Structure 1
Amino acid sequence: MIAMFLYIYIYIYIIVGAKENGYVGVGKEVEMEPDISPSLAYASPPGSVNVHHSDADVKSFFFESDLHEGSKMKLSFPKIKNSAKFLPRQVSESIPFSTTKLPEILAHFSMKSKSLQAKAMEDTLKVCEAPALNGEDKYCATSLESLVDFGVSKLGNQIKIISPTQVQREDPHVYTIGRGTKMIGDKSVECHKLNYVYAVFYCHEVQGTRAYRVPLKQQLQQQREDGDVALAVCHSDTSAWNPKNEAFQQLKVKPGTVPICHFLSSDTLFLVNK
C-alpha cells in the first residue's frame, strides 16, 4: 500500500514538474545524444554538468570547500536533449535489456545496427552491466515503478524526490554562490537518465556522498534577491574512480585524496529521506 502511494506521488511529481524533460509517456520517436556516451568507472560521473566543455575556464568539478557564499565559478548548464519516455513496468520487463540481446532490441524498435542511436544504446547497456564500484550499490531502472522500488529499498518508505532546477542560461557564465547553501542529505540515491530508446535511469547509492542545495546568482542578478538554485553532490571517497577521470585532471589531485563535487544535470532525479 505504501509503495502504491509512492508511485502515485512520484508519478504526479513527474507529470507536473518534469513533463518538459520527457519523463512520461510512451513513444519510439526519441531524441538522444549519441555523441555523449555514458562512461564506465566514473571516467565522467553520470549526471554531472559541463563535462567535456571546450572552454577550459568552465568548472565541471570543484572542492567542497568552494561551497560558500561569495565563491565564484564559471559554469555551463547545457539543455538536455534526451526526450525518451518511461514505459510501464510490464512493457519494459517484456523487452530484453542486455548487450547479448542488442540485435533483438534494435529489431524490436526498428533501429539500424550501425546508427549512432544504436551505439548510444549499446554504451548504456555496458554501463548497466558494468560491476559496481567499491561502496556503490547500483541499479538501472527501466520503469518508474522499478526506480521507486530501488529508492525504497535503500532509503525506506519515507522518501522524497528532488529534481535539480534548470538554470536559465546555457552558455558559460560566471556565477556567484549566494547566501543559504544547505546540505539536504548524506544518505541518498541518485538516478541519472541515460541514452536509450525509452527512459532508463542509472540509480546508485554511494557511500560518503553529501548533497547540497546551492543558490547561484549571475553577475546581473547581484542586486536582486532571487536567482537560480542548483543541486551539488560531493563525493568524499574517490579512491575507486578511474585515475583518468576528468575531475582529477581539472583539480590536479589524485584519487582518494579530497572530496570532489559537481552540479547535477536537470535530468537527474535525487531521492532522499523525508
Structure 2
Amino acid sequence: MDLLKLLCFLTSVSLGVAAEHADLEVYWKSKLPNTPMPKAVRDIIQNGKPPGVGGLSASPQAIPFRFGRRYFTYGHGVVRDGKNPTEGQLRNHQNVTVFFLKRDLHGGSIMNLQFVNLLDNTTAFLPRQVADSIPFSSKSVPEILNKFSVNPNSVQAEAIKELIADCEEPGNEVEDKYCATSLESMVDFTTSKLGKNVGAISTEAQKTDPKILKYVIVDVFKLNDDDKAIVACHKQNYVYAVFYCHTLRRTDAYRVNLVGADDGAKVKAVVVCHEDTSAWDPKHVAFQLLKVKPGNVPICHFLPEDHFVSWALKH
C-alpha cells in the first residue's frame, strides 16, 4: 500500500473511531443495562489511540509479570502457556507475587506487587463495521501487514501472526473462547454466555509505580457463585483493540482491596482462583514458583489493569 492510500485508510478509520465513542457507550448500556463499564474498557473508549504506522508495541510491556491469554511476560521475555521458564526468570520472580495459593487470599496477607499504567498508550476499539471489514486470519496476514504498513520481518509482524494463530486454535470441552475485534462483539460474546444481568470489573490502582512494592490485603469479596462460570477478557497487543475472551469454569473471581504498606495507596484489584489445576502442564510456572503439583490445590493470580472479568449476578 503506498503512503497516500495508507494515510487515507488510517484517516477514515480515525474519523470512524472518533465518531463511534458515544455509540459504543450506548451499545454497552443497551446490552448490559445494569453493568457499569469497567475501567479497562472505559479508558480505551475515552483515550484509545487510532491505529497508525507502528501502532504495535515493539515488545511486550516490560513488567515483571503479565497474565493474558497464553503469555507470561518476564521483563522482555515471554514464556508461552506459562511453561518452561528459565532458572533466571524464576529467580527474578521470587520477590514478586506472581501466583499464590488460595489459602493466602485473606485480610492481612502481604503481597509484593507492581501496578503500572497499561492503558495510557493503548490502541482504540474500531467500530464493528470497520473491524469486520478488515481481515483477521492467518492466510490474510500479508494483507494485514500491508494495510497497516508493518514490516513483515519486524517484531510487530511476529506478534500479529502469533495472536491470530492463537485466536484460530479451537476451544476445548472446558473453555469457550473468542477473539473480539470490536467492543460490540466482545459484549455479544459475554452476554451469550452470562446473559444481560452481569457484573464486570477490572483492576484499578490509585497510584502506578514501576517498582515492586508491598501491599496489604484489606478485605476480599467473592463475585461469582461457586457453580457459575465467569468470562475473562484480556487486552492483546495489536494494531487496534482486540480482546481474547474465554469462559472459565471451576474458577472463582474476587474483588480484593489492597493498601500500600509504605504509602497507603489504595488498589481495587481483581483476583481469579483456579480451583482445579489437574489438567495444567506439570512444568507450568505456577507449580515451580509455589512448589506444588497439579491437582485440586487452588492457585490464584491478580489481573493486570487492561483485563477484566464478568460474572452472572444473582437474581
TM over 0.5: yes
Task: Tell me the amino acid that sits aligned with residue 195 of structure 2.
Answer: G
Relative to 1, partners in 2 of residues 1:198 and 1:238: Cα closer, same or farther, differing over 3 Å? same
Structure of higher CA gyration radius: 2
Q: Work out the CA distance in 2 between the residues paired with 1:26 and 1:11.
A: 26
Give the secondary structure class of the aligned counterpart of 2:262. Answer: helix
User: How far apart are the structure 2 equivalents of 1:117 and 1:11?
Assistant: 35
For residues 34 and 156 of structure 2, the distance between their equivalents in structure 1, rounded to whole angstroms, comes to: 29
The one-character-per-residue Cα deviations of 1:116-152 (angstroms, maximum 9, x if unpaired) are 1111111211221223244111111000000000000
Q: Is the 8 A contact 1:42 1:242 kept in 2?
A: no
Tell me, which stretches of 5 or more residues in structure 1 are unaligned? 46-50
Q: Alpha-carbon deviation of 1:54?
A: 3.1
Amino acid at match of 2:82: S
2:239 match: secondary structure:
coil
Secondary structure of the residue aligned to 1:93 is helix
Measured at CA, do residues 11 and 92 of structure 1 come closer, stay the same or move farther in structure 2, by a change above 3 Å? Answer: farther
Q: Which residue of structure 2 lines up, in the alignment, with residue 13 of structure 1?
A: 37
Measure, in 1, the Cα distance between the counterparts of 2:28 and 2:42: 20
Query: 1: CA distance between counterparts of 2:39 and 2:273?
Result: 29
Q: Which moved more, 1:57-66 or 1:130-139?
A: 130-139
Which residue does the alignment assign to 1:39? 70
Say whether residues 1:240 and 2:279 are aligned partners. Answer: yes
1:28 pairs with 2:52:
yes
Secondary structure at the aligned position of 2:295 is classed as coil
Change (3 A) 1:123 1:16: closer
Aligned partners of 1:183 and 1:211 also within 8 Å: yes
Between the aligned partners of 1:21 and 1:263, the Cα distance in structure 2 is: 23
Unaligned runs of 5+ residues in structure 2 are 1-25, 62-67, 72-78, 84-88
Whether the aligned pair in 2 keeps the contact of 1:42 and 1:245 (CA below 8 Å) is: no
Deviation string 1:132-173 (CA, Å, 9 cap, x unpaired) is: 244111111000000000000000111232221135233111
Deviation at 1:247, TM superposition (A): 1.0
Q: Give the Cα separation in 2 of the matches to 1:100 and 1:10.
A: 40
SS at match of 1:220: coil
Partner of 1:202, secondary structure, is strand
Pick closer, same or farther for the CA change 1:93–1:209 going to 2, 3 Å. Answer: same
Paired with 2:146 and 2:103, the residues of 1 have a C-alpha distance of 50
Query: Does the 8 Å contact 1:22/1:83 carry over to 2?
Result: no
Whole-Å separation in 2 of the counterparts to 1:20 and 1:97:
21
Match of 1:94 in 2: 133
Q: Percent identity?
A: 41
Question: Which moved further from structure 2: 99-108 or 241-250?
Answer: 241-250
1:72 aligned residue? 110
- CA distance 1:273–1:86, shift in 2 (3 Å): same
Pick the aligned partner of 1:200 from 238, 242, 254. Answer: 242
The within-5 A match list for 1:1-274 is 5-6=29-30, 13=37, 18-19=42-43, 24=48, 26-29=50-53, 30-32=55-57, 34-35=59-60, 39=70, 43-44=81-82, 54-80=92-118, 83-166=122-205, 168=207, 169-178=209-218, 180-186=219-225, 187-221=229-263, 227-274=266-313
Aligned to 1:271, what secondary structure does the other structure show?
Answer: strand
CA distance in 2, matches of 1:130, 1:17: 25
| Structure-1-length-normalised TM-score | 0.83
Instruction: Return the offset for 1:12.
Output: 8.3
Count of residues in correspondence between the two structures = 264
Measured in 2, the distance between the counterparts of 1:59 and 1:15 equals 23
- Paired AA for residue 19 in structure 1: D
Task: Please say if residues 108 and 216 of structure 2, whose CA atoms lie closer than 8 Å, have aligned partners that are also in contact.
Answer: yes
Task: Give the letter aligned to residue 34 of structure 1.
Answer: S
Please provide the CA RMSD for this pair.
3.2
Q: Once the 2 structures are TM-superposed, how far is the Cα of residue 77 of structure 1 from its aligned partner?
A: 2.3
State the AA in 2 paired with 1:123.
E
Residues 15, 211 of structure 1: CA spacing in aligned structure 2 closer, same or farther, 3 A cutoff?
A: closer
Q: What's the offset of the Cα at 1:55?
A: 4.1
